[in-house]
Chains A and B, each alone.
Chain A
């Protein structure tokens, strides 16, 4: 199975900051990667798919990059509603797997 490792596990930042979250796959997954945002008590929300494609309706301050084993999610200017937990997910091969999550907290 493909292991997905996110870093950091948590990060503190302020409104307006630029934040980058990293996701590393244990083997080459090409661009078969998605990013999700989850707020407490809510279902996850798809932000980015195919490593860098922005899901419809998602603000342009979110962007994704990478291929192979190393990927990043960048939020260019944090807004109050962005404080949440973020997960990466590989879709290269079954069983699909998620990273352990990165909790983005207010500094």
Chain B
């Protein structure tokens, strides 16, 4: 069964850090690029970051560049999102998705709340 499962969300104070994980199963993870996409409460989708299958290319939204880092461990079929210097506007459900250009498979999301 093809699936992605996100974890690591929670409540954090402004300026804090959090690391999200996305575990993949049911497909050849090492062959696929991976994305993070977020959705603030009541808002639309915002693309956050992308990493190629071999980590040779990483890209970020302007809103998170310099604060967030995407990485992956193909031996563990997992992609990560390290989030530092968190702001209240980073509060959202964070989804991971597979694919290079489009997100074919999505996880159910993990919720990040940045609040004092």
What residues of chain B lie closer than 8 Å to A98, measured between beta carbons?
44-47
Q: Does B14 contact A (CB under 8 A)?
A: no
Q: Which of A38, A43, A46, A95 is the one whose CB lies under 8 Å from B47?
A: A95
User: Which residues in A have their C-beta under 8 angstroms from that of B47?
Assistant: 89, 95-98
Chain A nearest CB from B51 CB (Å) reads 12
**A1 and B102: CB pair below 8 A?**
no
A91 and B107 within 8 A (CB): no
> When the two chains form their complex, are residues A46 and B62 in contact, meaning their CB atoms are under 8 A apart?
no
Residues A43 and B106 in contact in the complex (CB < 8 Å), given A95-B59, A95-B60:
yes
Roughly how many angstroms separate A87 CA and B103 CA in the complex, as a whole number?
Answer: 12
User: A43-B95, A87-B44 in contact; A32/B101 too (CB < 8 A)?
Assistant: yes
| A79 CA to B101 CA, complexed, in Å | 29
C-beta contact mask, A47-71 vs B, less than 8 Å → 1, else 0? 0010000010000000000000000
A91 touches B102 (CB 8 A): yes
The answer to whether B102 touches A34, judged by C-beta atoms less than 8 angstroms apart, is: yes
- Taken together as a complex, chains A and B put the C-alpha atoms of A91 and B59 apart, in Å, by 12
Minimum CB–CB distance from B111 to chain A (whole Å) comes to 11
**A43 touching B108, Cβ below 8 Å:** yes
A84 to B97, CA, bound (A): 20
* Distance, CA A36 to CA B44, complexed state (A): 12
Instruction: Looking at the assembled complex, report how far the CB atom of B62 sits from the nearest CB atom of chain A, in whole angstroms.
Output: 6
The proximity string for B residues 83-116 relative to A, scoring 1 for CB distances below 8 Å and 0 otherwise, is 0000000000001000001111011110000000
A44 at the interface (CB under 8 A from B): yes
Give the 6 A-B residue pairs with the shortest CB-CB distance, closest first: A91-B101, A43-B106, A94-B59, A96-B47, A34-B102, A101-B44
**What is the interface of chain B, defined by CB distance below 8 A to chain A?**
35, 37, 44-47, 50, 59-62, 95, 101-104, 106-109
Other CB < 8 Å A-B pairs besides A44-B45, A96-B35, A97-B47, 12 of them? A34-B103, A36-B103, A38-B45, A43-B108, A44-B103, A87-B45, A91-B102, A94-B50, A95-B60, A95-B61, A96-B50, A101-B45
